[in-house]
Amino acid sequence: MAAFQFTLEATCPDTGARAGRLETPHGPVLTPCFMPVGTLGTVKGVSPDQLAATGAQMILGNTYHLHLQPGEGIVAQMGGLHRFMHWSGPMLTDSGGFQVFSLGGLRQIDDDGVTFKSHRDGRLIRLTPETSIQIQNALGADVVVAFDECPPYPAGRDVVSQAVARTQHWLERCINAHGRPDQALFGIVQGGVYQDLRHHAAEQLVSYDLPGYAIGGVSVGEPGPLIREIVQWTAPQLPAHKPRYLMGVGTHRELAQGIAAGIDLFDCVLPTRLARHGSALVQGERWNLKNRQFQADPAPLDPTCPCYTCQHFSRAYLSHLYRAQELLGYTLLSIHNLTELVGFVGRMRQAILAGRFSSAFTYWLRAPVSEDLG
């Protein structure tokens, strides 16, 4: 069997939802799949064993941040990112392209690449398509991502068109620089909120016949309805027999609607970021555990949740930990939030396999009331 192989197991007859299996050198990934984000070689607040217990299959590392600290040379010397962080399952590394957006005040873009001023110590960091791939080759993740320009929202058509052209040119350079057959290279569709630019970018990208394809440049400030439209425009343009990855999206509704459009892989920092701010994801709702109503509540966060946190601790205890700023609170809530999102996507996979996706997830597939009214 090839190191990378994607097999469709079931499709939903009245949406684009599909269930599949992605084979990687570090094991299979059953899709659709939510991937926790481990930017610096750790998913914040949880150990690898705790992370595995959430049901997580595949996780992310970030090229830019790992290049700054500890450096890809040290990671390679330690046996690669899997061994370095003691994660035996599949991994993906982002290219550093998102930092072109998120560190907009600390970088300069030109046609050759991007120069960053390090947010850590002020030194200048140069990322080009070649160096991004070289760093990712050294880190050793199963899936690597082409370096791209991620424009902000809002951005004018000329700016976005230039980013699309630059991203395609950089993809060609990434392909030429990529030197490890045991790593699958995914390209990224950019195009902002412009449907014709998205279609053009997808058409160009598909011509390279890559192992997988990502949709980038969403969740960068645009409202939910636009995210939904972008995904609905773009996903059908990508090959049905290759995995499709929607970058940086992770609310319940975004996940459900992305799956309905035919997306297979998702990532987002949302579950651990919310945990660090005292918020719990409970069956799609967000609860602020610092609220007075939880101070003497003996119930678990979610009696139906199988996670370690819900099986052992009360809402009152978790509220106490956050009020006291105890680090255990961040860990316990991260475990729960990760379990919630990983499990939510897993239940959608089972519904697709059982032929009941549309009926079981009707609530999440429709627009929220505020959109219906407006």
| Pairing outcome for strands 5-11 and 18-24 | antiparallel
- Quick check: 81 and 73 in contact, CB under 8 A? no
3-class DSSP state for residue 74? helix
Which burial class, exposed, middle or buried, applies to 109 when counting CB atoms under 10 A from its CB (0-12, 13-18, 19+)? middle
- Give the CA count within 13 Å in the CB-facing half-sphere of 214: 29
Out of 142, 148, 267, 302, pick the active-site residue.
267
* Residues shown for the chain: 374
**How far apart, in whole angstroms, are the C-alpha atoms of residue 92 and residue 116?**
22
Alpha helices in the chain (DSSP H): 48-53, 63-68, 72-77, 81-85, 97-102, 129-139, 157-177, 195-206, 224-234, 252-260, 270-276, 308-312, 315-323, 327-354, 357-360, 362-365, 369-373
**How far apart, in whole angstroms, are the C-alpha atoms of residue 141 and residue 145?**
10
DSSP state at residue 293: G
267 belongs to the catalytic site: yes
Nearest 5 degrees, angle CA 196-CA 241-CA 80? Answer: 100
Out of 94, 142, 148, 264, pick the active-site residue.
94
| Pairing outcome for strands 33-36 and 265-268 | parallel
- Quick check: 34 and 99 in contact, CB under 8 A? no
Q: Which candidate, 66, 183, 163, places its Cα nearest to that of 114?
A: 163
Largest Cα span, the chain: 60
94 belongs to the catalytic site: yes
Strand order in the sheet with 33-36: 33-36, 265-268, 244-246, 212-215, 184-189, 143-145, 91-94, 59-62
Catalytic residue ranges? 94, 267
